[in-house]
Structure 1
Amino acid sequence: METRIAILGIIVENMDSVSEVNELLHEYNKYIIGRMGMPYREKNVSVISIVMDAPNNVISAVSGKLGMLDGVSAKAVYSKK
């Protein structure tokens, strides 16, 4: 199956959802190339960037599942190739 490189941008505004975010990312860890997370304490949010190499449907599934969590926003940016 053909894969694409994508960046998932995740903002966690509800810290109670952090464990669910981590569980979901662990579930798809075979597609994750790298991860960078930064707590922004002044705004009480966490900002996470995930780089993935996966089929389109997997990237969409992860982004959609993250976005359904309480207080979590996620968007994917895809490579053109």
Structure 2
Amino acid sequence: MEKRLGVVSIIVERSVAPVDDVNDLLTQFGDEIIGRLGLPHPARGVNVITVVVDTSVERVSALTGKLGKLPGVQVRSLMSRTAPGAPLATPPDD
């Protein structure tokens, strides 16, 4: 499986979502997580979590699928088009 860089954005409704379950899932994928930033937004009653990953599309799908099944959790992901270290496309000569 080809690894790619990606970002997973998670919005957690604190009054509804099982926050411990969210953290447990992120821990299960810990070897593939480069960094994580969690910000509380008390005025809206949510936590916003951004996770940077270096993993396969299949593994990100597994993570987002499990997170998306939790009540009060919204999740989206974005993956790079190329694997890390792969040459980037160069613009054509004019």
Q: TM-score, structure 2 length as denominator?
A: 0.82
What does residue 18 of structure 2 align with?
17
- Residue type of the partner of 1:24? L
- RMSD across aligned positions (CA): 1.0
Counting matched residue pairs gives 81
User: In the alignment, is the contact (CA less than 8 A) between 1:35 and 1:49 conserved in 2?
Assistant: yes
The structure with the largest alpha-carbon Rg is 2
Q: TM-score, structure 1 length as denominator?
A: 0.95
Match runs of 1:23-42 below 5 Å = 23-42=24-43
How many percent of aligned residue pairs carry the same amino acid? 41
1:17 positional shift: 1.2
Q: Which moved more, 1:25-34 or 1:14-23?
A: 14-23
- Residue type of the partner of 2:51? I
Identify, as 1 or 2, the structure richer in helix: 1
- 3-state SS in 1 of match to 2:35: strand
Runs of 4+ in 1 over 2 A off after TM superposition: none
How far, CA to CA, are the matches of 1:78 and 1:55 in structure 2?
9
User: In the alignment, is the contact (CA less than 8 A) between 1:14 and 1:70 conserved in 2?
Assistant: no
- 3-state SS in 2 of match to 1:80: coil
Q: Show CA shifts across 1:5-52 (max 9, x none).
A: 110000001444110000000001000000000000000000000000
